[in-house]
């Protein structure tokens, strides 16, 4: 049986409040999957372990790799609080006063017990595994951000548009806040959501939404429970000569049925070989081609893991014969299709809670993607070269990214001479025909009948 059928997240007492405070029309009142029906006569189903926690789900290597890759990627990109430089018409990091405090919280120490990278890593893990990532903004008496706390569970009151209660771990133990305004809680939901706006776990969605996998899972369990390893036909003893076949068969019909039921119970209990008194023959039957094809289809669910978490197969270390270019292309695909949308959504959520409409246009939140290229020096150098050639950065700005000291005259932007306006191209052509060796200035145009010097 495939592991994918067990990869779901059920509601537990700790996160039940976080999923939904009250029943919502059209939404099941509980996300707890039904208990498996015990097969009569054995404990085969008891040995099938259902994954009921994110930690247990991550025991599957492909799931662990996909989830941690997303979390680690989001955590290495620093979240920058920036202000607009009206003189140069661009945004720069605000490192004065309140801006310095906010940047310290977003990039270094979110709270006394957690660094900022750890916070954003856990936010992404909670988003995928439980459906929602919450961060509580603790403010001082003036309303300025003081700490960022990772929320363990919370409940939303749609009538008052506030979080009825939130629970989070601090350096003073677990704390509970009630009637928290939405402006003080950063909410990072998963893609699929309940009608109240809370996200649904990727594990739970995959388990509930895939009708094909649910059907295959049911068939696989049914096949295994009915003796998928050993199938057989038992036959009753043949009547002796002179005894009516019909009468003898009717007399032994109950005994044969009882023997078959006893064998079935033992197979359910895990016995591979059984010995039954009075059994004359046992014919072993192998699994049909249809059964083997069905089980083979259950074995391709690593592709489902890659699709659900948006992580290409090479990055899950599933393709052992992949070329280096495959990993490079897969990384670019991962950053473009998966990380970029998450980055944009996080920027908007943080900006609307820390900046608001009042400072819109003069402040912004930027999640810097430059650290994603740190471990690829060749690609990083090419990007810096292209920026300098296009005039997007100076030599000193490029050297600053590599943590190198500034050089003299390195603050003047340069651009490639291959591209220029038509006017500049004509002037350059006229100058090249007028200049002579030793003369590097263009003289006045010659009049009629006069020779140029």
Query: Read out DSSP for 362-399?
Result: TEEEEE--GGGGTT-HHHHHHHHHHHHHTTSS-HHHHH
Residue 162 shares a structural domain with residue 293 = yes
Q: Are residues 208 and 256 in the same domain?
A: no
- Shared domain for 292 and 418, answered yes or no, is no
Classified as helix, coil or strand, 340 is: helix
Look up the domain containing 161 and give its range.
Answer: 1-228+288-372
- CA-based angle 393:398:399, to the nearest 5? 145
* Last residue of one domain, picked from the residues 329, 355, 372: 372
Please count the structural domains in the chain: 3
| Angle at CA of residue 182, ends 180 and 186, nearest 5° | 105
User: Is residue 264 located within the same domain as residue 164?
Assistant: no
Rounded distance, CA 343 to CA 383, Å? 20
Do the domain assignments include residue 72?
yes
Nearest to 392 by CA among 403, 383, 405: 383
Q: pTM above 0.85?
A: no
Q: Is residue 181 part of a domain?
A: yes
**DSSP assignment string, 199-260:** B--HHHHHHHH-HHHHHHHHHHHHHHHTTSS-EEEEEPPPPPTTS-HHHHHHHHHHHHHHHH
d(CA 302, CA 313): 8
Please give the torsion angle defined by the CA atoms of residues 299, 302, 305 and 310, in that order, rounded to the nearest 10 degrees: -150
323 and 341 part of one domain: yes
More confident residue, 303 or 151: 151
Q: What is the dihedral sign for C-alpha 169, 175, 180, 183? A: negative
Residue burial 28-52, b: 16+ Cβ < 10 Å; e: rest: eeebebeeeeebeebebeeeeeebb
Considering the domain architecture, whether residues 143 and 261 belong to the same structural domain is answered as no
Count the Cβ atoms, other than its own, within 10 Å of residue 365.
21
Q: Are residues 159 and 264 in the same domain?
A: no
Same domain, 110 and 15: yes
* Cβ–Cβ < 8 Å for 226, 11: no
Q: Which pLDDT belongs to residue 228?
A: 53
Q: How far is CA 347 from CA 79, 95, 113, 313, 366, in A?
A: 8, 19, 24, 28, 6
CA-CA distance, 229 to 207, in Å (whole number)? Answer: 26
Average pLDDT over residues 271-300: 53
Give every strand in the sheet of 90-93, ordered side by side: 90-93, 79-85, 363-367
Are 166 and 279 members of one domain?
no
**47 in any annotated domain:** yes
- CB atoms under 10 Å from CB of 388, counted, come to 18
Question: Domain check: are 279 and 295 in the same one?
Answer: no
Residue 144 lies in a domain: yes
Asked if pLDDT for residue 43 goes beyond 80, the answer is no
pLDDT at 132: 94
String of DSSP letters for 259-321: HHHHHHHHHHTT-SS---TT--EEEEEPPPHHHHHHHHHHTTHHHHHHHHHT--GGGGT--TT
Percent of the chain with pLDDT over 90: 33
Give yes or no for a contact between 28 and 53, defined as CB atoms under 8 angstroms apart: no
Contact 75, 117 (CB under 8 A): yes
Mean pLDDT lowest for which of 17-31, 107-121, 306-320, 342-356?
17-31
In this structure, are 130 and 186 located in the same domain? yes
Query: CA 254, CA 318: separation in Å to the nearest integer?
Result: 53
Whether the Cβ atoms of residue 120 and residue 83 lie closer than 8 Å to each other: no
Among the listed residues 7, 96, 30, the one whose alpha carbon sits nearest the alpha carbon of residue 308: 7
Among residues 356, 372, 388, the one where a domain terminates is 372
Per-residue confidence band for 194, with pLDDT thresholds at 50, 70 and 90 = confident
Angle at 45 between CA 44 and CA 47, to 5 degrees: 75
Measured in residues, the chain has a length of: 453
Q: Is residue 360 part of a domain?
A: yes
pLDDT digits (tens, 9 = 90+) for 95-144: 999 999 999 999 999 999 999 999 999 999 999 988 999 999 999 999 99
Local confidence band at 296 (pLDDT 50, 70, 90 cut-offs): very low
71 and 195 in a single domain? The answer is yes
331 inside domain: yes
Is the Cβ–Cβ distance between 66 and 57 less than 8 Å? no
- Which residues sit opposite 114 in a β-bridge? 111
Given 372, 404, 429, which residue is the final one in a domain?
372
* Residue 156: strand, helix, or coil: strand
206 — pLDDT class (breaks 50, 70, 90): confident
- Note whether residue 444 is domain-resident: no
The yes-or-no verdict on residue 441 having pLDDT over 70 is no
At residue 403, the 3 state secondary structure works out as coil
Q: In 3D, which of 204, 164, 132 has the Cα closest to residue 21?
A: 164
Mean pLDDT (the chain) is 75
- Which is nearest to 137 in space by CA: 340, 333, 330, 354? 354
Residues 6+ apart with CB under 8 A from 222: none
Residue 417 included in any domain: yes
Query: Residue 147: what pLDDT?
Result: 96
């Amino acid at each position: 049986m495939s592991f994918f059928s067990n990869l779901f997240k059920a509601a537990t007492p700790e996160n039940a409040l976080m999923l939904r405070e009250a029943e919502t029309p059209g939404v099941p009142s509980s996300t707890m999957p039904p208990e498996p029906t015990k097969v009569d006569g054995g404990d085969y189903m008891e040995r099938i372990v259902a994954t009921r926690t994110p930690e247990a789900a991550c025991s599957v290597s492909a799931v662990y790799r996909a989830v941690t890759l997303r979390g680690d990627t989001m955590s290495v990109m620093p979240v920058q609080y920036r202000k607009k430089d009206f003189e140069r018409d661009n945004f720069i990091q605000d490192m004065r006063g309140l801006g310095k405090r906010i940047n310290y919280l977003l990039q270094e120490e979110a709270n006394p017990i957690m660094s900022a990278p750890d916070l954003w890593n856990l936010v992404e893990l909670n988003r995928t595994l439980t459906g929602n990532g919450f961060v509580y903004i603790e403010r001082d008496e003036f309303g300025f951000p003081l700490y960022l706390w990772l929320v363990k569970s919370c409940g939303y009151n749609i009538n008052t548009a506030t979080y009825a209660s939130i629970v989070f771990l601090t350096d003073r133990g677990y704390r509970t806040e009630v009637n928290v305004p939405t402006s003080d809680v950063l909410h990072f939901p998963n893609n699929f959501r309940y009608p109240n706006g809370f996200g649904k776990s990727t594990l739970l969605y995959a388990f509930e939404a895939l009708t094909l996998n649910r059907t295959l899972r049911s068939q696989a369990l049914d096949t295994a429970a009915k003796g998928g390893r050993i199938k057989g036909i038992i036959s009753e003893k043949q009547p002796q000569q002179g005894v009516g076949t019909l009468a003898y068969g009717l007399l032994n019909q109950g005994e044969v049925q009882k023997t078959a039921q006893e064998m079935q119970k033992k197979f359910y209990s895990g016995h591979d070989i059984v010995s039954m008194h009075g059994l004359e023959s046992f014919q072993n039957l192998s699994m049909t081609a249809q059964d083997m094809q069905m089980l083979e289809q259950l074995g391709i669910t690593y592709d489902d893991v890659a699709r659900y978490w948006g992580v290409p197969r090479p990055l899950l270390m599933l393709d052992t014969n992949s070329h280096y270019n495959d990993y490079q292309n897969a990384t670019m695909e991962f950053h473009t299709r998966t990380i970029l949308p998450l980055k944009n959504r996080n920027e908007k959520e943080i900006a609307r809670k820390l900046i608001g409409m009042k400072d819109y246009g003069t402040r912004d939140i930027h999640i810097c993607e430059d650290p994603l290229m740190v471990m690829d020096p060749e690609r990083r150098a090419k990007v810096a070269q292209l920026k300098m050639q296009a005039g997007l950065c100076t030599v000193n700005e490029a050297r600053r990214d590599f943590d190198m000291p500034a050089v003299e005259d390195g603050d003047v932007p340069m651009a490639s001479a291959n591209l220029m306006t038509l006017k500049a191209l004509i002037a350059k052509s006229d100058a090249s025909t007028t200049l002579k060796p030793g003369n590097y200035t263009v003289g006045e145009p010659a009049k009629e009948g006069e020779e140029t010097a």
